[in-house]
Copies of this chain bind each other. A is one copy, B any other.
Amino acid sequence: MGDERPLRADAARNRARILQIAEEVVSERGFEVPVSVIAAEAGVGVGTVYRHFPTKEALFGAILTDKIGQVREYVESLAESDDPAAAFREYLNGIVDWTMRDRSIYKGLAEVSGTDLHALADGLRRAEARLLGHAQAAGGVRADLTPSDLKSIMMGCVVMVEHGTPLERAVQLATEGLGPR
């Protein structure tokens, strides 16, 4: 089960290019874009895409692997902050904003199906839990909020923004609630 023989130079180049272009295209148009569009955008034939990624889902898995890693790094950098409550607020803002600009993040946060992705998603979840824990310890966030609640809230805010609520307003409402001020 060792390393396959190394890719031919052009093949390696194409694989990298396809993945990079696919990330860009998907971030703009979402996962519904036809494989043919990605191929065209990358300047290769569909066959070439399929030689490198056996199915569309596999290609998307590769993209999500990247994205989840990026989000996790973001969370971990925030978890270091010495103002955990502010870091938590920034995460909520930042992730919603990022999701609005990159249509692939949503799926990254939500539906992780591929086996190898599960592990990554767990890592992300653990990082979020740490960030949340710090914020709670600092008294910035209600103590009963679970990591799962947090994920849900992020999704909820994204949807609010998708339906026309400005980002800041969505986060404000989520943070403050509906009760009288």
Complex contact A142–B174 (CB within 8 A): no
Specify which chain B residues have a CB less than 8 angstroms from the CB of A153 in the assembled complex.
160, 173, 178
A157 is an interface residue with CB less than 8 A from chain B: yes
Contact of A175 among B110, B141, B152, B177 (CB under 8 A): B177
A115 is an interface residue with CB less than 8 A from chain B: no
Complex contact B142–A181 (CB within 8 A): yes
Give the Cβ gap from A144 to chain B, nearest Cβ, in Å: 7
Complex contact A180–B110 (CB within 8 A): no
Complex contact B148–A178 (CB within 8 A): no
A94 is an interface residue with CB less than 8 A from chain B: no
Other contacts beyond A148-B164, A175-B177: 5, CB < 8 A: A141-B178, A141-B180, A153-B173, A156-B174, A173-B174
**Partner-B contacts on A (CB < 8 A):** 110, 139-145, 148-149, 151-153, 155-160, 163-165, 169-170, 173-181
**24 A-B residue pairings within 8 Å (CB atoms):** A110-B163, A139-B180, A141-B180, A142-B179, A143-B180, A143-B181, A145-B178, A148-B164, A149-B165, A151-B163, A152-B160, A152-B163, A152-B165, A152-B170, A152-B173, A155-B159, A155-B160, A155-B163, A156-B174, A158-B159, A159-B159, A174-B178, A176-B179, A177-B177
